[in-house]
Chains A and B, each alone.
Chain A
Amino acid sequence: MTAAANVSTSSKARLPGLAILLVLASVAVMGVLVLFPLFIVFKEAFAKGLPTYLAAIREPDALAAIRLTLLVAAIAVPLNAVFGVAAAWCIAKFEFRGKSFLLTLIDLPFSISPVVSGLVWVLLFGAQGWFGTWLIEHDVKIIFATTGLVLATILVTFPFVARELIPLMQDQGSDEEAAALTLGAGGFTTFWKITIPNIKWALLYGVLLCNARAMGEFGAVSVVSGHIRGLTTTLPLHVEVLYNDYDFVGAFAAASLLASLGLVTLVLKTALEWRHSGELSASRRH
């Protein structure tokens, strides 16, 4: 114990000059690239005072955008939480053929451009898409409607929960579940009383990241939205629309909401990492 402590203090103490330089350099980069833009967002949003800011947010189109964003997230995030738990459970607790293929598939939305994730829905359900004629005949609207936004968001945010859970569940193994079964618990009881409590904090963590991305997603929803004001513009799209209209205060006011969401997510995420580090996957531990 003492030996280990000695080693770590001495190795830390050996390069103070370089370490300080590196820290300063990263602070400078962070300041320019992250903090300064964040500051600008709020500065511009409040450029014409609080009343103008509040008016920009209370404007009907802005309220509609907020409502739509919340609605899309409220559908996409729970669905992805369920998908994520199911996928992680299969992958971590069972051996089967095609497991690595499934893993790759889960990661796919991370590796392809969000625009493509939006475009696939247009190709499937758009007026010229595979099912386009059928949908028009039956008067079902997917593209340029809330359904399309939800589908695009689900696809883009699919990996977050699963990716968070898989390493943790693999780490935990399935001995506890096996023990519960030998003690007479059924599959359902075992899942609810053993599996879920063991992953609850990591699940919350994944849901948090999933939600942040779902609310902030631009590329994929932009393709399927059609930018109909007050109807199919989510908050990020609303920012773009207003900015293109030279309504800077409105654009930045909406952007400040997204930035606040990001900050809240960050605080919650850090709190989770500190309070429940032991119950998150190893890479998240402090």
Chain B
Amino acid sequence: MNFQPHDDTEVTDQSLEISGVSKSFGRFPALKDVSLQAKDKEFLALLGPSGSGKTTLLRVLAGLEQPDAGEVRFAGEDFLALPVRRRRVGMVFQHYALFRHMTVAQNIAFGLSVRPRSERPSKSEIADRVADLLKLVQLDDLGKRFPAQLSGGQRQRVALARALAIEPRMLLLDEPFGALDAQVRRELRRWLRDLHDRAGVTTVFVTHDQEEALDLADRVAIMRDGELIQLGTPNEVYENPADPFVYDFLGAACRMPGVVEGGRLTVAGWESKAPKTAPQGPVEVFFRPDEVAFGPIDGPGLAAEVRAVAQRGPDVRIECVIEGEIFELEAHGPTLPNGVAPGLPLRVKPLRPRVYPLATA
């Protein structure tokens, strides 16, 4: 919160610099040569399936794991040389890790009360700070409760208040909404983002929920098998997924084999202009199920037959058979050709197909 920008102005405004970090557990490589940077006060999401190394990376930042190789700098300082307790990072654990034998107020006060005597605020200052934090996380009256007496959402906010109490230089959140139900999750999401903006602290949060990452983060780092696959703003990664994995991971995807030859893309008998960056030869074509146009059977597009139609509020889910395979497509009412009904043959035209070279594996 009272982070002072250091004087090396030529280092730009990068606050967190991770370079070439690797970590193995026994024979299992959890992180492979990961490098990324976060700007000061940035909200960075580490997104990936379980086992992708995102939590390990977070624990390396916190100092709970020591990498086998690589470098971590924060505000120009060698972070790996600092023990956990000197890094002043606020960490919120997936299951909150609240101290079960302490009240909410004692939990929040812990970080201040264990400071060396010379740096420790007085009892009344600590109490004031705890009261402020309880107000900040909207738990004013719950200071005397024990963690076991709180709901999941309340525990999460206590964990956050406890982490903020030490005025962290960086906030680390491990699946902050993982253990909450969908309703609470959505409520807390906006609130957390507001809190980050007000606190003005560099925040790294780990999630496996792409919607959460795209909605909350300034930038998203997508990880798989211990490697950083892509890093960019939510818009960049969603519009330009680096590979089929990222495309698939960021949203519903339809996938079909195709061929690119002489600037033309052929998929299931339909020929069109290939995207500029498309590789030559056999390819995989991806498109989002809601980024398609439906047309009459004599028009351009993939020949399809409707199998089922289900109206879901403003959206329509259309199950089509293309080349013998079933695809679940989505459309908004107006774009639908009149009289779409099971058994009707029509043309499906992917509006923004992405083309990737066919994986050799």
Give A contacts to B, CB under 8 Å: 175-176, 178-186, 189, 193-194, 197-198
Minimum CB–CB distance for A96 against chain B, Å: 12
Nearest residue, chain B, Cβ from A177: B97
| Bound CA–CA A122/B338 (angstroms) | 98
| Bound CA–CA A175/B62 (angstroms) | 13
- Judging by beta carbons under 8 Å apart, are A180 and B93 in contact? no
A182 and B85 in contact (CB under 8 A), knowing A175-B95, A193-B114?
yes
- Judging by beta carbons under 8 Å apart, are A182 and B99 in contact? no
Give chain A residues whose Cβ lies under 8 Å from the Cβ of B95: 175
Interface string of B81-99 (1 = CB under 8 A from A): 0001111111101010111
- Judging by beta carbons under 8 Å apart, are B85 and A184 in contact? yes
| Bound CA–CA A176/B98 (angstroms) | 7
| Bound CA–CA A109/B165 (angstroms) | 48
| Bound CA–CA A186/B64 (angstroms) | 13
- Judging by beta carbons under 8 Å apart, are A184 and B88 in contact? yes
| Bound CA–CA A186/B111 (angstroms) | 11
Give chain A residues whose Cβ lies under 8 Å from the Cβ of B115: 184
A183 and B93 in contact (CB under 8 A), knowing A176-B100, A198-B100?
no
Give chain A residues whose Cβ lies under 8 Å from the Cβ of B90: 182
| Bound CA–CA A193/B99 (angstroms) | 9
Give chain B residues whose Cβ lies under 8 Å from the Cβ of A197: 101
Minimum CB–CB distance for A282 against chain B, Å: 15
* Residue among B88, B90, B93 facing the most chain A CB atoms (10 A cut-off): B93
Give chain A residues whose Cβ lies under 8 Å from the Cβ of B64: 178, 181-182
| Cβ contacts A to B, 19 pairs, < 8 Å | A175-B93, A176-B100, A178-B64, A178-B84, A179-B91, A179-B99, A180-B110, A181-B84, A182-B64, A182-B85, A182-B91, A182-B163, A183-B85, A183-B110, A183-B111, A183-B166, A193-B114, A194-B99, A198-B101
| Bound CA–CA A272/B89 (angstroms) | 39
- Judging by beta carbons under 8 Å apart, are B85 and A186 in contact? yes
Minimum CB–CB distance for B201 against chain A, Å: 14
- Chain B, 122-170, CB within 8 A of any chain A CB: 162-163, 165-166
Give chain B residues whose Cβ lies under 8 Å from the Cβ of A198: 100-101
